[in-house]
Structure 1
Amino acid sequence: MATVTVSGKLSDFELEPIAGLSPEIEFLPSEPAVGNGGRLLATKAIRVPPEANGDFTVQLHTTDDLLPSNVYYQIVIRWLDGNGRFIKADNPNWKLQVPAGGGAIADLIRLPLGTGIVIYSPTEPPIWAGLLGAIWFQLDPNDANNPSNPANTGDIYQVRDA
């Protein structure tokens, strides 16, 4: 089994830890998988409470050597309200992919593709999360209707994280 360490820090938008609200971070595999050695892996959630300062570490199975190859972890963050009663939860639409080296959670999260964006540009647009999945037409936005302009190739691409 190839488990590695994933680490991070949980806080609120004021950058304060929420330890007083009994937080818990859940890592849920997206589907069953087969790991090295033919081991069948069930989707049992892995739960970790952060430290008082918000730091957390968790041992997760790597996802880059599983079958099927598109398995990832979903993340759920749960905590109590200020009175210690009602449970609140965040269910971000992220995909946590865990490579052989593990690492910081912020470096391992893949955001959903932004397929609603179309870009007209003579050069490849920069890679940033809001553009991932966008369609890119290789056209000169200032001269898109000129067939003599060599920047107007008409080629269509999808912006992807390499």
Structure 2
Amino acid sequence: MATATITGNLRTFGGANFNYLDPVIIFRPSSAHLGPSSIFSGPDIRATPAADSSFIATLERTDTMLTADAHYKVIIEWRNPGITGSTGPGTAEHDTGWEITVTKDGPIGDNARPPRPNHQMVIVAPTMPPKHFGPGTMWLQMDPEDPNTPTNPANTGDLYQLQ
């Protein structure tokens, strides 16, 4: 069993500790995976931050798996006192969009990769879209008000991949 220990801290956007809301960091495998002599499946791996916001998670290394592109999604869950149901306070969740490919012990950032662009989405616009769509996003330079008129000079028909 090839595992690695991932460490880090969980804080609010303002840098504060929010352990009073009982947060949990969830490492969700992208799917069941095969190793040289094992099949890996099962529930999410959950790490509860310590009082100082630090966390430790021991995860199966993804670089030893036979499945291409094995990774974990990183999700944050916490108690949300603003939502009350029949069983008490509800929960809130952030899917970070980030993935980690676990190859070595160390800080979570050393194993992280940013969210992947959605290559199934093509932005149709006369000017380049904002950078927040991320590298790799496709942009078709067309006039969205008049995309079917070939004589419209804004309809270049050029397809770009954002860098």
- TM-score for both structures, normalised by structure 1: 0.67
Q: Distance in 1 between matches of 2:33 and 2:107?
A: 23
Q: Distance in 1 between matches of 2:25 and 2:97?
A: 15
1 or 2, which has the higher strand percentage? 2
Structure 1 segments (4+ residues) deviating >4 Å: 114-117, 129-132, 156-159
Count residues in correspondence.
Answer: 126
Unaligned runs of 5+ in 1: 118-128, 136-155
Structure 2 residue 68 is matched with structure 1 residue 74: no
Q: Distance in 2 between matches of 1:90 and 1:34?
A: 28
Contact 1:62 1:102 (C-alpha < 8 Å) held by counterparts = no
Residue 106 of structure 1, CA deviation: 1.6
Q: Could you tell me which amino acid in structure 2 is paired with residue 70 of structure 1?
A: D
- TM-score for both structures, normalised by structure 2: 0.67
Contact 2:99 2:113 (C-alpha < 8 Å) held by counterparts = yes
Identity of aligned residues (%): 29
| 1:11 match: secondary structure | coil
User: Structure 1 residues 108 and 158 mapped into 2: Cα distance closer, same or farther (>3 Å)?
Assistant: farther
Q: Deviations over 1:64-84 (max 9, x none)?
A: 110212110011111112467
Q: Which residue of 2 aligns with 1:143?
A: none
Q: Which residue of 2 aligns with 1:6?
A: 6
Q: Which residue of 1 aligns with 2:54?
A: 55
Structural RMSD (CA): 2.6
Structure 2 residue 85 is matched with structure 1 residue 86: no
